[in-house]
Structure 1
Amino acid sequence: MNARNPHYRIDPFDLRLFTAVADTGTITAGARAVHLSLAAASARLQALEQAVGAALMQRAKTGITLTDAGRTLLRHAGRLQREMEALHAGMAAHAHGVRSTVRLLCNTAAISEHLPPLLGPFLAAHPDIDVELRELDSQDVLFAMRQERADLGIVADHVATEGLNTTPFREDGLVAVLPAAWSRRLGVRKAGLAFAQLLAQPFVGLPSEAGLSRFLQARALQHGRGLHHRVQVQGFDALLQLVADGVGVAIVPALTARRLGRPGVFVAPLAEPWARRQLLLCFGNSEDITPGAAALLTALRPTTWPR
């Protein structure tokens, strides 16, 4: 990489492009996300690397990998974009009345089971606060929190949360659901099914990008194999129906299995320690938290809402 160009000033749009490339993993997808052609995006990224005087990413046919310099820039880019968004929101507030947006990232169980009954009363009580809700797996939630690209996060306690403040949110166990006729074949015992026992069976799952799907694939790879999905569907209701129809097995939050239980579905505990987990509510430095995020944090604490 050539020496830094002292006459070039980093364009905020280039930071948006760089962040999009880092998030999507490829220059093509990143360019599409910010509505640029591939050629224009590549030229802007090269100029950005020239500006900082260091390679920001390693390029390959399968995608990009950030260098140490790229990870440093991504951390600062997230903070700068957040400040710019706050600036725009603050200016708009003068014209349209004071509002705030709280960015909340969470895993599949939180977004599907625990948050819906909590967010409604909160939003009704705070008409000046909007909540931007996004589902990610727990590792990605933590990464975004450390990059200051979210205000609050909800993660499972199997991940390392160093550098963030945490408070317990909800208990969140995972269970296996399988066609009732398969329970004897799989030899279900009171102690529960081992995850490895299920790996030889066809699965029904959520889309590949869902946090729970990514978590389960990672666990399967630890056993040296992936999950064979017969079909992947958008929601737990359709998933449980397919299990009842004998299509395959699935792993879902215990609360989901109780809420959507139906004839023909057998629910079995999982023997793995990772299936008995706690959800944690994560946030950054208390002195930096916005009033809107502080209000939502207070509303989500378990002392405020019964389990």
Structure 2
Amino acid sequence: MTAPARRTVDYRIAPFDLHLFAMVMARGTITAAAEAVNLSLAAASARLKALEDATGTRLLDRSKAGVTPTDAGRALARHASRVLAELESLHVEMASFGHGLRGTVRLLCNTAAMSEALPQRLGRFLVGNPDLDVDVHELPSDATLDALRRGSADIGIVADHVDASGLVVQPWLDDRLVALLPRRWPVGARRSIAFGELLERPLVGLARDSGLSRFLAAQASRSGRVPRHRVRVGSFDAVAQLVAAGAGAAVMPESAAARFRGDGVRVVALSDAWARRRLLICMTPEGAQLAGVRALAQALVAD
């Protein structure tokens, strides 16, 4: 059976025509839009007719009172707004290169780095490199490596429990996870506790989609268990306050827990081997050749 012929889509739509169409939507008449973009009425009408030909559908209902968009016109207006905003962003970024700027470094990191080790170091780097911006997002370590390999990130900070083969890896900081317990809980003088024992108790944690929460859920699932969180909050400070109030136990990086030692909580080491880990700075071989990426990695390691 022969497949029906498909219309060839004409993608050669000038950004200026999208701008003109957006002005028609904003001003309500072709006349007012033409004046706004410095075109004659005849020229504006011709360009709008060509736009309708290119999209293959009627975009405007015309009347003496002005114009109103068809359903297709409203859809085009939404896309036009998005496309024009992206083009503006493109021009701004390209202009920055023209003035000698080096653009934006895309950095992904786990919870420990995002909340503890990174902000102060990143602040010093940004002050010392005013021509570089850094786009930072928090992701679990395995998702960070996937993003690096897909090319959607430049630098990743991950824990060393993941497979970073094929990437350029630099050891960074030690990142031990510990238990934060309410001081009145009866654990005696114990210096360590297993995560499995914590799973028998109510927990306080970060948001479900945080890197640390995902990591701990994965560790629990290995024993066929699901952590029971009484509450999830947005920061280690809030977690510590809830633990001090007796709401439950928590797991966090030792560097964070040290700030709360003595504030109605006890800091106890986790005996699980996975709790003792090192943070790594990872880049693809291609990314490591980019000046901005290399500068950020070197600055973090130097710190």
Deviation readout 1:265-304 (Å, 9 max, x if unpaired): 0111011110000000001115763211111011011xx1
Residues 1:177 and 1:300: Cα distance change in structure 2 (over 3 Å): same
Q: Is the 8 A contact 1:105 1:154 kept in 2?
A: yes
Q: Is the 8 A contact 1:202 1:249 kept in 2?
A: yes
Distance 2:289 2:247 in 1: 46
Alignment of 1:10-29 (within 5 A): none
Residues 1:286 and 1:183: Cα distance change in structure 2 (over 3 Å): farther
Alignment partner, residue 136 of structure 2: 133
Residues 1:214 and 1:241: Cα distance change in structure 2 (over 3 Å): same
Alignment partner, residue 92 of structure 1: 95
Q: Is the 8 A contact 1:178 1:266 kept in 2?
A: yes
Letter in 2 for 1:278: R
Letter in 1 for 2:208: S
CA shift at 1:165, angstroms?
Answer: 1.1
Q: Is the 8 A contact 1:178 1:265 kept in 2?
A: yes
CA RMSD of superposed structures (Å)? 2.8
Distance 1:167 1:85 in 2: 37
Matching residue within 103, 117, 138 for 2:106: 103
Alignment partner, residue 190 of structure 2: 189
Matching residue within 156, 163, 166 for 1:163: 166
* Structure with max Cα Rg: 2
Alignment of 1:199-214 (within 5 A): 199-214=199-214
Instruction: Point out 4+ residue stretches in structure 1 off by more than 4 angstroms.
Output: 7-11, 84-90, 94-97
Matched, 1:148 2:151: yes
Deviation readout 1:21-69 (Å, 9 max, x if unpaired): xxxxxxxxxxxxxxxxxxx9xxxxxxxxxxxxxxxxxxxxxxxxxxxxx
Distance 2:156 2:123 in 1: 18
Choose 283-292 or 174-183, whichever is displaced more. Answer: 283-292
Count of paired positions: 226
Q: What TM-score do you get using the length of structure 1 for normalisation?
A: 0.67
Distance 2:158 2:261 in 1: 25
CA shift at 1:183, angstroms?
Answer: 4.0
Structure 2: runs of 5 or more not aligned: 13-71, 73-86
Deviation readout 1:212-245 (Å, 9 max, x if unpaired): 0000011111111111111000000010010000
Deviation readout 1:153-206 (Å, 9 max, x if unpaired): 00000001111110101000000011011142xx6633x111111111010000
Deviation readout 1:77-126 (Å, 9 max, x if unpaired): xxxxxxx9997665232566624100000000001110111011110011
Q: What TM-score do you get using the length of structure 2 for normalisation?
A: 0.68
Alignment partner, residue 233 of structure 2: 233
Q: Is the 8 A contact 1:107 1:212 kept in 2?
A: yes
Letter in 1 for 2:190: R
Distance 1:259 1:294 in 2: 32
Distance 1:111 1:88 in 2: 31
CA shift at 1:263, angstroms?
Answer: 2.3
Structure 1: runs of 5 or more not aligned: 12-39, 41-83
CA shift at 1:259, angstroms?
Answer: 2.1
Q: Is the 8 A contact 1:103 1:133 kept in 2?
A: yes
